[in-house]
Structure 1
């Protein structure tokens, strides 16, 4: 476990929208205001504990200032962030680079919320810890206790989310079950239950044919051929709903899969080996702890 201090600067915008300011600072803005302020991003770091190869942690806070602007015809562009991490043991600064993809949506359309995505989740830079090479991997935006792949931001305000990341070994996938939502809000069927799985490694993982199941017979889901979990990507397998933004996977079960009192989700690869499991409630402590 290492205590680290983070800070960040926005370095480039490609292609460049009109009226960009704040490059090489922690707060970048763009656009010609329409009755309000400019739009832009800021990054605020802090001091956190990071374990190499360990659980997800907060890298810093991302804020999107979203106001109506004239974009000059440039409504999709990439914004690059360099996060500087100082490891307290050696007081040495190391830089890790990431790319954010911004979609400045039309304000009068059916989906006016602006969209922020992470096309580059794995830093090209690495650090050597105890003889192993590690890179930083962003695994999502955390807002209101929920971690998601994309950030949607309504107009006329500042909207913030924590950037969640891990330090993972270079060239290795690391697929784990992170949670089981075992109490859905849909009466009787609990169709909106889900299991969440993330690849917190630096390499993509082919999970075609992998099996996700509970302890009871018939409660199985097999990932279809061609299923790749990208580095840093987070997906969900719902009981009986399909959500494209989280992979579109579903057990297709007309009844609840996960026991409200306690259960264990198991993720098995094509060789029959246990990759990860997650236990909760009365089953807590039964799992291997891989999640």
Structure 2
């Protein structure tokens, strides 16, 4: 683990809106106010972070969208570029760039909230540490403890989220079980139990035919053909619920699967090799003195 300081600036936009100001700083604004709330804009605030090179997530910085009704925009969808400078404790400085895609939705109708997402979650720049090349992979926007890939921003306010990222080896996938929710809230069946799996690498991972299980009969789930995990993507395999936003995978079993006292979830590739495992409860190895 090492300490790094992050800071950011918005160097460019793909459109030229009226009242544009702040390019090259950490606070860019644009638009002709249509009400009393002022212009819209983006803010990025960095800070001191603890970073690791094993796929552990950290907060790259805080993103804020100032979302107020504006007019005079030449187009409703456009890109805003972000440059994040990371200064490691040994003095190494590296810039990483990302593109934010903005959808300035109409302020009327069933979904007036603006939307912000990233066309790609991987920095094109890399850094070499101890002979290994790493890129920065953004997992998503973290709001209320949940990491999402698309930022939904209500009107008439400043809406913020942590930008969660990790250092990932360049050019390869890295699939891991990130958590097991082994105590569901649905009475008797615990249908809302799930195992979350994430690709912590910078290349897509084809997990077609891979098996998620725990060495017990009835606990094997085989991923269907065409199951591809994009860099940073998270999916969940539920016991007996369907959630399309997290992949829509489920065992379809009307009883609890994961032992409340303890178990070990294992993910195996098509050759039977254990790619990742996650122990919880009484299966967690005792800490060494």
Partner of 2:53 in structure 1? 52
Partner of 1:279 in structure 2? 279
1:42 is aligned to 2:50: no
Question: 2:182, 2:194 within 8 Å by CA — same for their partners in 1?
Answer: yes
* 1:84-123 equivalent positions in 2, closer than 5 A: 84-89=85-90, 91-123=91-123
In the TM superposition, residue 220 of structure 1 has moved relative to its aligned partner by: 2.3
In the TM superposition, residue 197 of structure 1 has moved relative to its aligned partner by: 1.3
Q: With the length of structure 1 as denominator, give the TM-score of the two structures.
A: 0.91
Worse-matched range after superposition: 194-203 or 207-216: 207-216
CA distance in 2, matches of 1:151, 1:201: 22
In the TM superposition, residue 24 of structure 1 has moved relative to its aligned partner by: 1.1
CA distance in 2, matches of 1:184, 1:65: 37
Q: 1:232 to 1:190 in 2, by over 3 A?
A: same
Q: 1:46 to 1:156 in 2, by over 3 A?
A: same
Partner of 1:77 in structure 2? 78
Structure 1: runs of 5 or more not aligned? 287-291
CA distance in 1, matches of 2:248, 2:15: 31
CA distance in 1, matches of 2:39, 2:98: 23
Task: Give the structure with higher Rg (CA).
Answer: 2
Partner of 2:206 in structure 1? 206
- 3-state SS of the aligned residue for 1:245? helix
1:218 is aligned to 2:218: yes
CA distance in 1, matches of 2:153, 2:183: 28
Question: 2:213, 2:221 within 8 Å by CA — same for their partners in 1?
Answer: yes
CA distance in 1, matches of 2:245, 2:74: 27
Question: 1:8, 1:25 within 8 Å by CA — same for their partners in 2?
Answer: yes
Partner of 1:167 in structure 2? 167
| Number of residue pairs matched by the alignment | 285
Question: 2:16, 2:74 within 8 Å by CA — same for their partners in 1?
Answer: no
Partner deviation per Cα, 1:223-274 (whole Å, 9 max, x = no partner) = 1111111112122222222222222222222223223332222111111111
CA distance in 2, matches of 1:235, 1:16: 37
Partner of 1:289 in structure 2? none
CA distance in 2, matches of 1:244, 1:92: 42
Question: 2:177, 2:267 within 8 Å by CA — same for their partners in 1?
Answer: yes
Partner of 1:235 in structure 2? 235
Partner of 1:196 in structure 2? 196
Structure 2: runs of 5 or more not aligned? none
In the TM superposition, residue 71 of structure 1 has moved relative to its aligned partner by: 5.7
Partner deviation per Cα, 1:55-87 (whole Å, 9 max, x = no partner) = 111111111222222263622222211100011
CA distance in 1, matches of 2:186, 2:18: 46
Question: 1:16, 1:77 within 8 Å by CA — same for their partners in 2?
Answer: no
Q: With the length of structure 2 as denominator, give the TM-score of the two structures.
A: 0.91
CA distance in 1, matches of 2:11, 2:145: 29
- 3-state SS of the aligned residue for 1:126? strand
Question: 1:100, 1:118 within 8 Å by CA — same for their partners in 2?
Answer: yes
